[in-house]
Chains A and B, each alone.
Chain A
Amino acid sequence: MIRLEKRAQPSKVWTYATPLLAVVLTMLAGGLLFAALGKDPVLAIRTIFYEPLFGQHASFYLPQLLVKAAPLVLIAIGLSLGFRAGIWNIGAEGQYIIGALCGAGVGLAFYPTESVLIFPLMVIAGGLGGWAWAMIPAILKTRFGTNEILVSLMLVYVAEKLLIGMSLGLMKNPEGFGFPGSRNLAHYPSATSWIDQSLGLHWGVAAALIAVIAAYILLTRHMLGFNIRLAGQAPRAARFSGVNPNRLVVFCLGTSGALAGLAGLFEVAGPTGSVTDSFNVGYGFTAIIVAFLGRLHPVGILLAALLMSLTYIGGGIAQSQSELQLPAAAIQLFQGMLLFFLLATDLLTNYRLRLTRGATA
């Protein structure tokens, strides 16, 4: 009989060991799943984890890893601040869209003028757009006590409608033969966020790294970071020590909104290129998983985003190689397992497993 015993202190060892254990367990269970599908499990796991990093075409996949991870890191870093303080921004997807629309709007308005000022202006517009969209749930919460989870989530659907409206109307490419979608910003030198496409480098990648460092400093060295952590762990204590909860709500939602908006802007001006009705692919929601996978820790988030990207890219390779041809659903299941095992093994951080004898059941 196995019994759970709460640890007095979360285990340091297991905090670092559980993610690794989860990856190993995912590989084992995933291998069984692939074997049950009649696929070579070793080849499948190897393709997903090894091929993008060290395989024949790693020079192409490694930069793709950065492209895929950058928006996830940017959004997840912002979300983690709020999540630590118990402020739940679930609408990053919407802030991502609005940031992209505002930033792209500035870029498209200047087309075809060339100037070094255009891209910085787009960045400001993108950040402000995401910030403003997040201010709606923030103000409603601080003024009227509404639930930020619901409001921010509902605003995602509003943002999606705006995106459709823009790609069919105001921002539609006048040279697009009536098809929806804006001009391609990636082909507009003053507006593109690409630094070097073959290296997978765009300003979003740079911004993501800066965000990781800034968040780390904020949380470990700054009073505001301490207040955020305190508000999450002991709200009453925070109240007594003079933390203004409303100001914290505005700060956390605003920051996460601005970062999501920036992620959207960098994406629309680079990897995606244009405002289209299918611009958003769920980064805002995946980032929630990434934030928790990374234990709400900036460095953890960076690693988690890279791991998620690896399973996407490796999973894609495993799908389209003729000797494997794994179904897309199996890859999704595999990604789900990873999250499941991470959360499950997380138990070991706070609890100890005890084997007891003589239990009669």
Chain B
Amino acid sequence: MSRGWLWLCWIWPLGLLLLPLVIVLRISLAEPRLAQPPYSPLWDVSADGAVSIDLHLDNYRLLLEDPLYVQAWLDSLGLAAGTALLCLVLAYPMAWAIAASPPRRRRLFLLLVMLPFWTSLLLRIYAWMGLLAPQGMLSQALLRLGVTEAPLAVLHSPTAVFIGMVYAYLPFMLLPIHASLDKLDPQLLEAAADLGCRPWQAFLRVALPLSLPGVLGGTVLVFVPALGEFVIPDLLGGPGSLLLGQVLWNEFFANRAWPVAAALALTLLGSMALFLLTWQFLQRRLGALA
């Protein structure tokens, strides 16, 4: 194939990724209007033919000054970090056990991990609503067993959001960690034992450092999308839950404040990009070692 056709490769990144971003950026720099579209035009041609360009940074300033947005940021960061941390704590031993099991059972376990993806996330979250509801299965079972006196009041609380998040994002943590543990040569652990390490010392000095790329990869795969998650907090969270994804949705659909929503979307994207760049940097540092 001649090199002349190579520009075709750029259709996807330019047309489908960059162009919408440019549009969002342009909206984020406008003023809200009660009009169609609901924002001010970027430039104005006055009667004498002079072109004036109108850039408004107020939307960004609002994001910094309004405690509502600041709180949404902090809540979202906390939820994403907590989700990533709990996923890590749960997924690492699971990935270890899977990697240590015989090949046949390993395939079965991996299949089970990926099985939920065959159903829509929305459906699975609805199922969790049924499970966590005060009259739901879990609550009824706990009442019967006498573990609790009153029906479970978990649904529509931050706890329910947390449970749902960890549930939904666990595979994204587990698979990269499993991939890095699967590559780990068991002889390295034997060599560590031969050189005087107890099993836990061999883990800390050999297995853990060698699986760090998987841990970092999983953390990114969980943290970044969790930061802007909308569906899970909206369905499982309470009325007071205002996370970034929900704020974005509200500004856009309820308030029709497109410029603020656009500014919010861009800052979210920017912070994710920053996070990814940091991760890549760390990855390269680790890559030099591994």
Q: Does B bind A?
A: no
